[in-house]
């Protein structure tokens, strides 16, 4: 299986992820499952999201699950039946703050799903084994 070419240099991606993590505001005590809202530039958030999506694809190559983090990126990952047209059967979608909180370990997959911060549909739409990165 061919692995997608990286568009974000790994050093730049790691730097953006570290900068996002350093600038993120801790979750509110009132809403423990709410991820941090980053106090970093949009470009840093975009780079961190795109890099982490590439990293998930590198660790779990495939086309059976589509991960969407609008408006910054989308990827297909996890081995299984290939999806070719229309809406994929296994979709995961969340906002950038939630995604990066899961990627960095500030928010667990289970907590994000139970709090309604992640929309996950399909039998394979579970990244708990891959997150945090």
Say if residue 112's pLDDT is above 80. Answer: yes
- pLDDT tens for 22-78 read 887 655 444 455 555 557 899 999 999 999 999 999 999 988 899 999 999 999 998
Mapped to the 3 state alphabet, what secondary structure does 53-120 carry?
HHHHHHHCCCCCEEEEECCCEEEEECCCCCCCCCCCCCEEEECHHHHHHHHHCCCCHHHHHHCCCEEE
pTM of the model: 0.84
Q: What is the pLDDT of residue 113?
A: 93
d(CA 25, CA 15): 18
């Amino acid at each position: 299986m061919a692995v997608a070419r990286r568009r974000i240099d790994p050093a730049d991606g790691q730097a953006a992820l570290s900068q996002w993590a350093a600038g993120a505001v801790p979750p509110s005590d009132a809403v423990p499952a709410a991820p941090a809202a980053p106090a970093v530039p949009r470009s840093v958030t975009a780079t961190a999201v795109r890099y982490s999506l590439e990293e998930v694809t590198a660790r779990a190559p495939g086309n059976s699950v589509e991960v969407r983090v609008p408006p910054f990126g989308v990827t297909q990952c996890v081995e299984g039946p290939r999806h070719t047209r229309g809406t994929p059967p296994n979709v995961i979608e969340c906002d950038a703050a939630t995604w990066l909180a899961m990627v960095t370990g500030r928010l667990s997959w289970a907590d994000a799903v139970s709090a309604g911060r992640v929309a996950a549909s399909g039998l394979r739409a579970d990244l708990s084994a891959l997150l945090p990165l």
